[in-house]
Amino acid sequence: MNRPLILLIGALALGAAIFAGSFFASRHVTAMCCVKPSDDLAWLQTEFHLGDAAMTRVRQLHEGYLPKCGELCAKIAEKKGELNLILGNSTNVTAEAQVKLNEIAALRTECQSNMLQHFITVSQAMPPEEGKRYLAEMKKITLGDHEQIEQTMSNDTGHEHHH
Amino acid sequence: MNEKKNLPDDAALTALLRPARVSPDLPPGFQQNVWRRIEDSEAAVPTTSWLDAMAALILRPRFAAAAAAVLLLAGILAGTANGRQLARHEAEMNYVASVAPAFAR
């Protein structure tokens, strides 16, 4: 290989290393500085430009919602444990297992319904435009994922549809 | 003054010396050789390729320093923008995890 080519390759490698080094270092520093893991609601305030009054209201709603959500999650976990016990030695879905599946589905529906209601209530505590944006974002995350999964499953003809 | 005074003597001296000057015969093909060497030297002027030009550019300290500074700055700017997005996404997921644990990614 001739000298100019080696020089050019070396210079490109050095340039790439400088760019990559500064990119990853500054990304890490920025990511570390901007995240406040102690406050789950910090994102809401900055993203949706909430004032102190709106933030106080949102915080109240959030704190009121969490125990209900936790209670439902505990019930779902309990029912899942029961379902596992029923399915433990069985080779097919028994009537008893079906009942547990229905109970879990009902609890999940209730949980999702409560969650959507919470999103709507929170969005109403925000300035109208920000509220709309918040609701759209939350719907995209909580409902969009399901749509995406269902779409993937329905397109995947080679596999069984399983939740 | 001295030059003017010496002029007649110099001319006489030159006239006297002229026949004594030895003018050696040129080797055969001297003129052709001279022309050939001129042509060869013209043909031998290297035509610099883009690779050579780039290498020469890279070796210039000012260019190298400027390029390094630009890359460093671009990396910092891109990294900061990406880090902000990352932090925003992480904060969003923290919130979603607190209200809808099943949907947090």
Contact assignment for A36 to B51 by CB distance below 8 Å: no
Asked whether residue B82 carries a pLDDT value surpassing 60, the answer given is: yes
Judged by a CB distance cut-off of 8 A, whether residue A19 touches chain B is yes
For B15-57, what is each residue's pLDDT tens digit? 888 777 777 778 888 888 999 888 888 776 666 788 888 888 8
More confident residue, A142 or B74: B74
pLDDT at A161: 38
A159 touches chain B (CB under 8 A): no
pLDDT higher than threshold 80 for residue B58: yes
Is this complex scored with an ipTM above 0.85? no
Q: Does A26 touch chain B (CB under 8 A)?
A: yes
Nearest to B95 among A2, A43, A73 (CB): A43
Do A69 and A61 contact (CB within 8 A), yes or no?
no
**What are the chain A neighbours of B68 within 8 Å (beta carbons)?**
14-15, 18
Can you say whether the dihedral through the CA atoms of A73, A149, A129, A49 is positive or negative?
Answer: positive
In sequence order, the 6+-apart residues with CB closer than 8 A to the CB of A126 are A48, A50, A54, A58, A134
* pLDDT classification of A136: cutoffs 50, 70, 90: very high
Long-range contacts of the stretch A41-44 (C-beta < 8 A, 24+) = A41/B95, A42/B91, A43/B88, A43/B91, A43/B92, A43/B94, A43/B95, A44/A134, A44/B95
pTM: 0.60
What's the whole-number mean pLDDT along residues A70-96? Answer: 86
Q: Is the dihedral of CA A30, A138, A64, A57 positive or negative?
A: positive
Helix (H) or strand (E) holding A43: helix A42-47
Question: In the A/B pair of chains, how many CB contacts fall below 8 A?
Answer: 120
Name, of A8-17, A27-36, A64-73, the range with top average pLDDT: A8-17
Q: Does A93 touch chain B (CB under 8 A)?
A: no
Q: List pLDDT tens digits, range B64-75.
A: 999 999 999 999
- Confidence band, pLDDT 50/70/90 cuts, at residue B76: very high
B31-43 per-residue burial string, b: 16 or more CB within 10 A, e: under 16? eeeeeeeeeeeee
Query: Cβ contact (<8 Å) for A43 and B64?
Result: no
